[in-house]
Amino acid sequence: MGRVTARRPVLRVRDGQVTHRSDTLTVEEPMELRVGGRALTVTMRTPGDDFDLAAGFLVGEGVVRTAADIAGIRYCAGAADDGSNTYNIVDVVLADGVPPPDASLERNFYTTSSCGLCGKSSLEAIATTAPWNLAEDPLRVAPETLAVLPDRLREAQRVFDRTGGLHAAGLFTPEGELVCVREDVGRHNAVDKAVGHALRSGRLPLRETILMVSGRASFELVQKAVMAGIPLLAAVSAPSSLAVDLAADQGLTLVGFLRGSSMNVYTGSAVTV
């Protein structure tokens, strides 16, 4: 398995004092995702929980909905100079009867770790492919419960303490108990890893579940929440206009600027005020 952190030399300047030291950085490497041996996309990610990442990505794209849709996930031989496995190529085998990804999903270029691909036309596509009705979810959460989630998410970030360079996504119960946390250099990768873990554990749709993310709420993260059946997405920063549009269209409760007891509820009715 690839390393999550790496050491690099740095010239540190503090209050006029200059020192030479080593700094711990978050590793960022490409991962190629294949489905049935056919290349689908390449994303820059932090190594670790790669099978969850692959499964979660396919949930977000509407390729799979349950653990039974996946027959197997494996690493393919990498391309290291010494012939060893780089663990940077993951192949997903779909179960019999599960249609392969549409050819339009094939991306013969890499997706950056900071954002994926989305656009206004995706609103209509998601409206027709979303498998779960979020408006019918019974989740109700008090503002006081949401207020403690950023700190609980931060406390669960193991690698962030060493690097300061990772995003996190956490799944929480209605009572604010942490179910799963995943870290990655990319916001969308962290969510994919959390959703993929839930899929492989047989927990989709994630009814009565809160998704808490450490950054902003983009259109893409709302899309991933919708496709996983998550009724509430909370973020410490701002949402985009398209994220709010999609959340409203799909019945998802979207909370932004969640910082202590302060928050903005942009859409939905899951927050009891």
Q: Which residues are catalytic?
A: 115
Q: Got the DSSP string for the chain?
A: ---SEEEEEEEEEETTEEEEEEEEEE--EEEEEEETTEEEEEEEE-SS-HHHHHHHHHHHTTS--SGGGEEEEEEPP---TTS---S-EEEEEEPTTPPPPPGGG--SSEEPSS-----TTHHHHHHHH--S-GGG----B-HHHHHTHHHHHHHT-TTHHHHS--EEEEEE-TT--EEEEEEESSHHHHHHHHHHHHHHTT--S-TT-EEEESS-B-HHHHHHHHHTT-SEEEESSPBPHHHHHHHHHHT-EEEEEEETTEEEEEE-S-B--
What are phi and psi for residue 145, nearest 5 degrees?
A: -70, -45
